[in-house]
Amino acid sequence: MTAYCPSCNKDREVTVSKQRESYPVKGESIVIDANVVVCDVCGATIYDDELDEENLEEAYGIYREKHGLLAPRDLRELRAEYGLSQRGLSSLLGWSQATIARYEAGAIPSVAHNSQLIHFRGDLDYALELYHENKHKLNSLEAKRAADAFGSVKDSRSITNILQSFLSKCYTQNSALYVGNKAFDIDKLANMVVFFASGIQDLVKSKLLKLLWYADFLCYKRQGVSASGTPYVRDYYGPIPAHHDMLLAYLQEDGIVETRPYEGPYEGEYILPLVEFDKGLFSEEELDVLIAVVTRFKDSTAKEISRCSHDEDGYRATEMKQMIPYSYAESLKAIH
């Protein structure tokens, strides 16, 4: 491959090789076998953003293991265990949501915060104590889900918690490119479903799935961050949330929506809301996006919105059953 070499002042053939390098982490030097780009002509080391980030992540990982610190995946799994969003876990721990977000993005947790997280993860009585003290800070859906999780953690997991845990683990394993630079927030996704089902009469499942895609991608286009952090895949009839069957099963099992078969030449189901929309979960900009999507597609049939989605660059450029990068939000055609 080729890259610009500052020493040669021109593009050169380069090679990625291993070098022992030291990275400073929290005032400590961590030595790793780093991947570096080397000019084949002059032998100079060439800086590469992507490789340097990977090297730094490796150094952070060694530092965490050395000092017994939790990794980002540990925090995501902990939240999934109790059905908590970043906002929910931070509320129980008495931290800011930004703190949890930083740690899940790769920042090294402080010793005090790490100790509290380990205590929360390993001591159910302590976790329950924090839950009872701070559950009033959770939104209604999260409070219900957490209550179910804490009530069943000593016994078998409930179906609702199994489904929620599955979705959270699957969705949070994806890179920022496929979740719109946002940690997955199941409560916001559930309330987006409630918003659309409440605002559009006789909303069919296939149309709902496209509305969710347009809402998240439009939010990303306008703000650089999706609304719910949901990954979407290309399906035969348009973009849909990954594991959409599990998502709808969760929403029904948790009493958020119900389905009703409709009569006609083709089998299908209407989506009916069972809870009130929680406006407080959304910013004014996000609410504007939801309203814009309803306004644009309220009178469109499932076939019409499917045709619109098939014409979008993100759908056309993505292979069947593969995830659609949020970068294609910039070229949305059906809504702006």
**Per-domain residue ranges of the chain:** 2-67, 72-156, 169-331
Cα separation, 39 vs 51, in Å, equals 15
Cα separation, 255 vs 257, in Å, equals 6
**Which of 214, 212, 216 minimizes the C-alpha distance to 286?**
216
Cβ neighbours of 275 (radius 10 Å): 17
Q: Which fold has domain 2-67?
A: Ubiquitin-like (UB roll) (3.10.20)
CATH architecture, domain defined by 72-156: Orthogonal Bundle (1.10)
Token representation of residue 293: 């999507």
Cα-Cα-Cα-Cα dihedral sign, residues 73, 80, 270, 262: positive
Cα separation, 237 vs 42, in Å, equals 54
Q: What is the pLDDT of residue 218?
A: 98
3-state DSSP helix/strand/coil % of the chain, to nearest 5: 55, 15, 30
Cα separation, 6 vs 115, in Å, equals 45
Q: What is the pLDDT of residue 332?
A: 98
Yes or no: say if 277 and 179 are a contact pair by the CB < 8 Å rule: no
Cα separation, 184 vs 83, in Å, equals 12
Cα separation, 302 vs 324, in Å, equals 20
241, HSE (Cβ side, Cα atoms, 13 Å): 29
Cα separation, 62 vs 69, in Å, equals 10
Cα separation, 259 vs 273, in Å, equals 9
Beta-strand ranges (E) seen in the chain are 2-5, 10-25, 28-39, 45-46, 232-235, 238-241, 257-261, 269-273
**Tokens 């159910």 map to which residue?**
124
Cα separation, 231 vs 63, in Å, equals 31
Q: What is the pLDDT of residue 156?
A: 43
Query: Residues in the chain with pLDDT < 70?
Result: 152-158, 264-267
Q: What is the pLDDT of residue 168?
A: 83
pTM comes to 0.62
- Radius of gyration, CA atoms only, the chain: 23
Helices (H) and strands (E) in the chain, counts: 15, 8
Yes or no: say if 116 and 127 are a contact pair by the CB < 8 Å rule: no
